[in-house]
Homo-oligomer: A and B are copies of this chain.
Amino acid sequence: MLERARCLDVGDPLKEFRERFDVPEGVIYLDGNSLGCLPKATPERLEQVVREEWGRDLIRSWNSAGWIDLSSKIGTKIAPLIGARADEVIACDSTSINLFKLISAALAMRPGRKVVLSEPGNFPTDLYMIEGLERQGLTERRLAPREALADALDGDVALLLLTHTHYKTGELFDMAALTHAAHEAGALVLWDLSHSGGALPVDLNGCEADFAVGCGYKYFNGGPGAPAYAFVAERHLKAARQPLTGWMGHAAPFAFSDDYKAAPGVEKLLCGTPPILGLAALEVGVDLVAEIGVDRLYEKSQALSEFFRQCLSERGVVLDLVSPTDPDARGSQLSFRHDEAYAICQALIARGVIGDFRDPDILRFGFAPAYLRFEDMAEAARHLAEVLETGEWQCAEFRQRAAVT
């Protein structure tokens, strides 16, 4: 297997990009869908921002280093990677905060309709942000399993909020079909691209999506807690209003007027002062993804995950796959259900194979193809087979839950 893997690596058109990341020695990192690896260019760029832009040029850098436009600039770079126009995307705040803005905007655009529809088991923060607005009395949360979503789209639904690639299973929604169904029912659609952006081609405008949000620290390699991004379709830019009306979303922030006037473009999604360190790191990661290209990334991630399955199969490992078997139906991950998923995950980490666990019983492997090799797949499969064969996961130390699992 290892030999075949190495042959595949030799023929890999993306092989040169691994060198652009700081992949730690002795680690097979299958958790780039939780926190992307460090691009080698990032420390130097951050050092420049810190020592020169902040340390030396100080407050002047808002103009001279373009800090004031950094959120928009990164948005224009993310835009083509998700099928958006340059003026429809902005990098800011967290995914959660951006969800709040866009759920609110959608509700205001559908007066008389109060329901936000999603699915149970969606990423928690998506569901919780609907609840926040529900507690404000501004919406009603409705959850329907994915097979029942179309039926649940009645005349009360203002917004359909779904995560394109499911965080646990990796299952993909048919963005075009569900967006169309929602529009037919008179509802708007907000797509959470956290596990899609930078991992696979997304065509927001081709699908006529209304709104989207996404995460900067997974496949965009922006660093821990990197700023997120948000998309508003050009046709809604004028009407969309969001309640987090901080000074940076004002049409003229430095006029310091008492009354809020929203910026005309997607900058109206800005709220407080932009986090420059986080944005600077995010830009490096986004630039790298743009250079590689999401089509090529997805093609390789599909090849990696299929090869991983082959390796497991050839080693006789039988695990309950909860991700779709068809690689076109899933994002860049494979998830398996196992009662001892947590302990197995810990035993793998002790061997240098970093995947992750999702409560209660999911063992999740993410395939970030910018820095993973086929050799890593063969080795990860070997380690997983050995962990299961030896039963080493039964050690007490692997069962003790850490604060973050």
A-side interface residues toward B, CB under 8 Å? 22, 24, 27, 29, 31, 34-35, 37-38, 42-43, 46-47, 50-51, 53-63, 67-69, 93-97, 100, 104, 120-125, 127-129, 131-133, 135-138, 143, 168, 217, 223-228, 241-248, 250, 253-260, 271-279, 281, 349, 354, 356, 358-359, 402-405
Contacts and interface: CB of A to CB of B under 8 A. Distances in A.
B97 A93 contact: yes
B359 A255 contact: yes
Contacts of A129: 244-246
A25 to B, nearest CB: 9
A35 B59 contact: yes
26 contacts: A24-B56, A29-B58, A35-B54, A42-B50, A47-B47, A62-B224, A62-B403, A63-B403, A94-B246, A95-B272, A95-B273, A96-B271, A100-B243, A124-B256, A124-B260, A125-B272, A128-B247, A128-B250, A135-B245, A136-B136, A136-B138, A143-B258, A223-B277, A224-B277, A225-B273, A277-B277
Given A97-B246, A223-B50, A404-B254, A59 B43 contact: no
Nearest to A98: B272
Contact of A96 (B46, B96, B125, B246): B246
A404 to B, nearest CB: 4
Contacts of A95: 272-273
Nearest to A50: B43
A61 B274 CA distance: 25
Contacts of A62: 224, 403-404
Nearest to A55: B38
Contact of A273 (B31, B63, B94, B275): B94
Contacts of A60: 349, 354
Given A124-B250, A254-B405, 12 more contacts: A34-B59, A37-B58, A38-B55, A60-B349, A68-B403, A96-B244, A120-B258, A124-B253, A125-B272, A143-B258, A217-B273, A278-B278
B403 A274 contact: no
Contacts of A96: 244, 246-248, 271-272
A94 to B, nearest CB: 2
